[in-house]
Every structure is written in C-alpha cells, then in structure tokens.
Amino acid sequence: MPAVRAQIKNALQVRLVSDLVKAKTYYQDILGFTVDDWGHVERDGVGFILQQAEKPEDVRPNAMPSKRDYPSDWPGPPTSWDTYAYSDFGGVQSLYDEFAAKGAIIAYEPLIEDMGSRQWKEFAVKDVDGYVIVFGGGS
C-alpha cells in the first residue's frame, strides 16, 4: 500500500513582541486581523503567532537585504520586509485606504511600477514593534 503524503494545512510565522496586549490590539483594531487568546492573528491567509519577548532586544524585525541585481530594472525593496502579502491591484488600494483610515503605521505609501503590459502596486505597514508587512498586487 503506498504511503499517504502528509499535507501542510497552514503556516504561521512566530513574532516576538515587546507588549503582547498592545500588539494583539493593533493587529485586531487597526489591521483587521482575527485575534485569539493564544496570540494567533489571522486575516485572509496571512497569519502570525504573537509571543511575548523575554527581553526587548529579542524583538528583531528583519534588517534591510543586501543590494543585488534583480530581474528588469527593479531597484529592490525600499525598506526591510518581514512579510509579503499578495492581493490584486484594486485590493492593494482598498487595503491601504482601510489601514490609513484606522491609523496604521505606514512604512511606505502605494508605489506603482510598470511591468511591461501590466502594473504592480504595493505599500507597507509596520506593526507596533517595527515588523513590516507589504501588500502588493498586479493589474
């Protein structure tokens, strides 16, 4: 009998945070995530497990990546990224409008890049500990 291949149902990145209550409130009230008592925060396929850091120096969002030659003439990310969430072109603007109206920490406003016959739009928010979530999508 052939072995059944196990499937991964979901994956949540663990984020150490400086103040668990404050972080959970931000993800719920500002970014619209569903939050539970365990620190799971999820919205439309994007999710994290927030855990209280033992020491402030344990909270470590990603640093800026090194420069490299990307395909086409893309200069690389304008800031560090911790998570990249994909949407569609119109969805990106809707998310930006929603987050900005609720007072989200904007890492950078929507950028539009030409990609030949298509366009790509993205923007980024920060959480209260400086983790950057980018939302991008093409036309």
pLDDT reported for residue 70? 65
Residue 61 lies in a domain: no
Residue 23 lies in a domain: yes
Residue 67 lies in a domain: no
Residue 3 lies in a domain: no
- 75-96 residue pLDDT tens: 778 889 999 999 999 999 999 9
* Residues spanned by the domain of 133: 13-56+78-138
Domains: count for the chain: 1
- The C-alpha atoms of residue 48 and residue 35 are separated, in whole angstroms, by 10
Residue 71 lies in a domain: no
Query: What value does the CA radius of gyration of the chain take, rounded to a whole number of Å?
Result: 17
Q: How confident is residue 72, by pLDDT bands cut at 50, 70 and 90?
A: low
Percent above pLDDT 70 for the chain: 96
Q: What is the mean pLDDT of residues 84-109?
A: 97
> How many Cβ atoms are within 10 Å of 23's Cβ, its own excluded?
25
Percent above pLDDT 90 for the chain: 78
Q: What is the CATH number of the domain that holds 120?
A: 3.10.180.10
Residue 69 lies in a domain: no
- 18-46 residue pLDDT tens: 999 999 999 999 999 999 999 999 999 99
Q: How confident is residue 50, by pLDDT bands cut at 50, 70 and 90?
A: very high
Residue 89 lies in a domain: yes
In degrees and rounded to multiples of 5, residue 136 shows phi and psi of: -140, 155
Share the mean pLDDT of the chain.
Answer: 93
